[in-house]
C-alpha cells in the first residue's frame, strides 16, 4: 500500500529543483527588476545630480540697480562666473543657471542682457539697445514676458531694477538681508512706492 516511498520528501524538505524554480519564478524576477529600478532611481536622485553638475559657486548676493551697459559685464565670462539676466525690467542672478546662460550655454545670448524681448517672441536673440521699453509687444507677448518674470522670481535671486537712461538707482544698503519681494510686476510702480 506504500506509495512510492523513495521519492517522498519530509514535510520540511524542499526538493532542490523546486527551490530553484521558485527562486527564479517570473514573479520573483519581476519583483527583483522593480526593486533594482527603484533603488537605481533613488540613488540617482540623491547623488546623480551632483556627480553630473559641478557644485554651483557660492557668490555673495548682490543687490543693485543697473543700466544695460552695467549689466553687460555679468555674462559669465568674468572670473567669478556670475551671470545676470534681466526680464521685464528686473535683474536676476542666474548664476545657478549658468549651464543655460553662461558661456557656451544654449541661452548664452541672454547672459548679461535684457532677455525680455527674446523670451516674449520665442527667439534666442538679444538686442544691444540702450533700453528696450517693450512698448511694441502685443498683449500675448507681454503675458509671456510676465510668465517668464514669475519663473525667474521663483528660481533666481532678485538683484535690482534695469535702469532706463537717466534713471537713478535705488539705494539698497539699508535693506534687510531677508529681502521682501516686490509686490508688483511693474518696476515703475515699485519705484513710486
Residues at the interface with ligand HEM (CB under 6 A)? 97, 100, 107, 118-119, 122-124, 155
Residue 92 or 160 having the CB closest to ligand HEM: 92
User: From the CB of 125, what's the least distance to ligand HEM, in Å?
Assistant: 8
Query: Could you say which DSSP state residue 96 is in?
Result: G
User: From the CB of 91, what's the least distance to ligand HEM, in Å?
Assistant: 14
The C-alpha cell that represents 101 in the structure block? 546662460
Distance in angstroms between the alpha carbons of the first and the last residue of the chain = 104
User: From the CB of 154, what's the least distance to ligand HEM, in Å?
Assistant: 9
Residue 7 or 122 having the CB closest to ligand HEM: 122
In whole angstroms, give the CA distance from residue 127 to residue 130. 9
Residue 137 or 167 having the CB closest to ligand HEM: 137
What is the number of the residue whose Cβ is closest to ligand HEM?
97
- Are 65 and 169 contacting, i.e. CB atoms less than 8 angstroms apart? yes
In whole angstroms, give the CA distance from residue 193 to residue 189. 6
For the four alpha carbons of 51, 107, 95 and 157, in that order, the dihedral sign comes to negative
Residue 68 or 108 having the CB closest to ligand HEM: 108
In whole angstroms, give the CA distance from residue 84 to residue 134. 19
- Are 71 and 159 contacting, i.e. CB atoms less than 8 angstroms apart? no
Residue 74 or 107 having the CB closest to ligand HEM: 107
In whole angstroms, give the CA distance from residue 65 to residue 36. 51
Length of the chain as a residue count: 193
User: From the CB of 108, what's the least distance to ligand HEM, in Å?
Assistant: 11
User: From the CB of 53, what's the least distance to ligand HEM, in Å?
Assistant: 11
Amino acid at each position: 500500500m506504500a506509495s512510492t516511498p523513495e521519492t517522498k520528501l519530509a514535510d520540511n524538505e524542499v526538493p532542490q529543483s523546486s527551490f530553484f524554480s521558485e527562486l527564479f519564478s517570473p514573479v520573483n524576477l519581476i519583483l527583483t527588476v522593480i526593486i533594482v529600478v527603484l533603488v537605481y532611481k533613488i540613488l540617482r536622485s540623491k547623488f546623480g545630480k551632483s556627480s553630473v553638475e559641478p557644485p554651483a559657486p557660492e557668490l555673495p548676493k548682490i543687490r543693485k540697480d543697473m543700466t544695460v551697459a552695467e549689466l553687460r559685464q555679468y555674462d559669465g565670462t568674468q572670473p567669478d562666473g556670475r551671470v545676470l539676466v534681466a526680464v521685464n525690467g528686473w535683474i536676476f542672478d542666474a548664476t545657478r543657471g549658468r549651464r543655460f546662460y553662461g558661456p557656451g550655454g544654449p541661452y548664452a545670448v541672454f547672459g548679461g542682457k535684457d532677455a525680455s524681448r527674446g523670451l516674449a517672441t520665442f527667439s534666442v536673440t538679444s538686442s544691444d539697445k540702450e533700453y528696450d521699453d517693450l512698448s511694441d509687444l502685443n498683449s500675448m507677448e507681454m503675458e509671456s514676458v510676465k510668465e517668464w518674470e514669475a519663473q525667474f522670481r521663483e528660481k533666481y535671486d532678485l538683484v535690482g531694477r534695469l535702469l532706463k537712461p537717466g534713471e537713478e538707482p535705488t539705494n539698497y544698503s539699508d535693506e534687510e538681508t531677508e529681502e521682501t519681494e516686490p509686490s508688483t510686476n511693474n518696476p515703475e510702480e515699485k519705484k513710486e512706492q
